[in-house]
A and B are shown apart, each in its own frame.
Chain A
Amino acid sequence: MIKIKDLHKSYHMGSNSLHVLKGINFEVEEGELVSIMGSSGSGKSTLLNILGMLDEADEGQYILDNVPIKNLNEKIAAKYRNEFLGFIFQSFNLINYKSALDNVSMPLYYKGIKRKERTERAMHYLEKVGLANWSHHLPSELSGGQKQRVAIARALASDPKVLLADEPTGALDTKTSYEVMELIQGINDEGKTILVVTHEDDIAHMTKRIVNLKDGVIIDDSRVEQVRASAHV
């Protein structure tokens, strides 16, 4: 599903240049649930941003679902993001003046789907994350866990190939974190490919594979025995 070869990325701040990714190589098969770990500054967020086409690599190859992702202009990037990817952010990034339902139907709007079908599909995904009763609430009326569930429903709405989660539990307490992870595991069980960036060990162990990043290189990449989040809830 995802193939990455010799990926490099530097940031330039004035005269200083910061080499963040120093040749990353890895592959993700369809249906995998992978966590990317590393301390802050290890380059894990940068990697995720590149995978998410929110940022571009300086060098190297990135192939997503057999499509080489390169020389992106804004238009194509937008199209690929909409088609291939679903994002889950640490800070949820819901649009605060839109109801849960409208937030979830947003990617469908940009896909050009008609209103009626949009609403139906969005409702379906809200049910899936257990928030059908909260569909007309604004984000400000939801708890952190609920917000992240709405964000997950939104990420799923356009039926993307890959879900990218950037510290999805970073802003949540332990119990809520496990609930969210349970949901993510459930989605993965249905066959969705999911990448989770985290720095929490317990969260990482709830995935099936842990990729460890340090100073811009992968120092460890191993499959692990998945801990079911439901056991902790």
Chain B
Amino acid sequence: MFDLERWQEIFETLRKNKLRTILTGISVASGIFILVALLGISKGIENGVKSEFEQDATNKISVWTGVTTKGYKGLNPGRYVQMKNSTFEAVENQYDDYFEYRSKDFMIWGGTVSYNNETGNYRIRGTLPDNQFIENADIGYGRFINESDLEENKKVAVIGNKMKVDLFKNEDPINKNIQIFGMNFKVVGVFYDPGGDREESQVYIPVSTAQKIFNAGEDIRNMSFTVKMADNFDEAVAMSNAIAQGMEQKIKQIHTVAPDDVSAVRVNNTLEQAEQIYSLIAIIQAVFWFIGIFTLVAGIVGVGNIMLIIVKERTKEIGIRKALGALPSSIVSMVLQEAVFVTMFAGLFGLIFGLATLEVFGPFVEEMTDYIKYPQVDFNTALTSVFLLVFAGGVAGFIPAYRAAKIKPIIALRDE
């Protein structure tokens, strides 16, 4: 195998038969390249969809209200359903054992926030401490809203990183005062959110403070909860669904809304969507794997085919070599080493080319769509495919080579 003379002979043969070498190489390299690209894109879609989706906790149930569309118990349609602190407490009391985190929010969609000479328009959101976990927010500096802020209606704010960059530039924002609608709030923390700039362009303040300064009384805009996860995903989805339905009926009952009024109270069950999205991802992956495996099979068959033809074409040469004193084993190993070398070299080339393509074009694709992120391939999977192809090329080369080495030289020589 490591006989230098033999390798020289093989390189020479490959060099002198460029077309054959290149054709074999292309079919192997393109097979691996396509496989790597497919697996990369499939991984990218998975990452993209997941990250798009996991901006917030995946086991989240959120409740929003709107305007009634149906009359019920003497009340006219067109009435806005206003949730109160008491609505939140009623839901919390009933389902508390199933909840991990809970939050009620009162928010203003856009408000002026300024620091010194810098001013911007941001969402202002009164919330509870638990919301940090429901929103999947990470604290960069300082802390999030805490219980004592709520109890004392403190004027404290946790700003998003985008806001920090806009208003404070490189300055440390902690314990500085910002003005929200002209009122001073002390910045106690900066948060990051996987949702990106949009989610980081908001400021969290205690919900009690928000209700007070905006004269909202007991009003809340929405509530969100995360459900404790059962061990089994399907069970968790079922439980989450049951809670979401129960909660919806409860809220409708409290606010005297028709049970079949879908737009007045909307309960959004993220886990149910998660299940759908995960099964979608699984289908996408299965499709890509299916295509990938058959690409590989096509590659293997192609390589096998080429090897068969090569050996057939070289029957006479093999006869000549045998007449000149070549051992059958040296004929077999010659054909095999060539096959393995070409497929290995081309396979690794396709692999590197595929990985490089993902590396180079990945960022462009990521910019174009939110649904593809970090298109990458498991290196081991890709390497395994290369070796599988090399092995197949070897086997496909071995059988005809073995047969050719067995032919009597006189018969091989007659082959025209």
Contact = CB atoms under 8 A, between A and B. Distances in A.
Indicate whether A and B interact.
yes
A74 interface: yes
Interface residues of B, number: 27
Interface stretch (A57-65, A91-99, A191-199, A221-229): A91-99
Main secondary structure of the interface of B (DSSP, over half): helix
25 contacts: A54-B409, A55-B410, A74-B406, A75-B327, A78-B322, A78-B325, A78-B326, A78-B327, A82-B325, A89-B413, A93-B319, A93-B413, A95-B321, A97-B13, A106-B324, A109-B5, A109-B9, A110-B321, A110-B324, A110-B325, A110-B326, A111-B325, A112-B5, A115-B5, A158-B325
A49 interface: yes
Most chain A CB within a 10 A radius of its CB, from B322, B323, B325: B325
A102 B327 CA distance: 19
Given A97-B17, A98-B16, A82 B324 contact: yes
B330 A110 contact: yes
B328 A74 contact: yes
Given A115-B5, A115-B8, A54 B16 contact: no
Interface of B: 5, 8-9, 12-13, 16-17, 316-317, 319-330, 405-406, 408-410, 413
Interface string A63-104: 000000000001100110111000101000111011000100
Given A81-B325, A110-B330, A55 B413 contact: no
Nearest to B17: A97
Contacts of B321: 95, 106, 110
3 closest A-B pairs by CB: A82-B325, A97-B16, A54-B410
A68 B329 CA distance: 24
Contacts of B325: 78-79, 81-83, 107, 110-111, 158
Most chain A CB within a 10 A radius of its CB, from B317, B319, B323: B323
Contact of A49 (B327, B328, B330, B410): B410
Contacts of B13: 97
A114 interface: yes
Contacts of B8: 115
Most chain A CB within a 10 A radius of its CB, from B13, B316, B324, B330: B324
A200 B70 CA distance: 114
